[in-house]
Amino acid sequence: MSFYSSIVSLYDHIFPVMAPMVSLCNESVPQSGRVLEVGCATGNLIDALRNGKRSFAGIDYDDEMVKYSLKRFLTSWIFLLSGKYFSKLEKFLLRLSSLSFVSIRCVITPS
């Protein structure tokens, strides 16, 4: 079990989405269209940015984070991108390439 898998239920409390991050994303991401978040974890930033006009896709490396996000949003647009699934990378990229995005984000939070 990875470190992140072991804290998935506490992730949003340990790493909360900060208001300045939401403001920065809201200022730099168009108010409508599809956004891809790379390293979406539990989807807490996606949740904070949802406004009814944006749609989101997310990818993460951790199995448990992806499972949590899928339950949270009841969507099939959260993808797992981990070493044991690299054989499916071509299928993943083909699926992703059929979409267009107004923004692709990877937000790194200071610890």
- Hey, where are the domains in the chain? 3-105
Note the pLDDT tens digit of each residue in 31-87.
Answer: 888 888 888 888 888 888 887 788 787 888 888 888 888 888 766 566 666 555 555
Query: Residue 13: is its pLDDT beyond 90?
Result: yes
User: Is-above-0.75 flag for pTM?
Assistant: no
The answer to whether 18 and 104 have CB atoms below 8 angstroms apart is no
List the structure tokens of 32: 């409508």
Please tell me the number of Cα atoms within 13 Å of 101 on its side-chain side. 15
Contacts with 8 (C-beta within 8 Å, 6 or more apart), sequence order? 42, 62, 64, 65, 68
Compute CA distances 25 → 21, 46, 100, whole Å.
6, 10, 18
DSSP label of 58 = E
Q: Tell me the residue type at 104.
A: I
List the structure tokens of 41: 């974890």
Identify the architecture of domain 3-105 in CATH: 3-Layer(aba) Sandwich (3.40)
The answer to whether 57 and 36 have CB atoms below 8 angstroms apart is yes
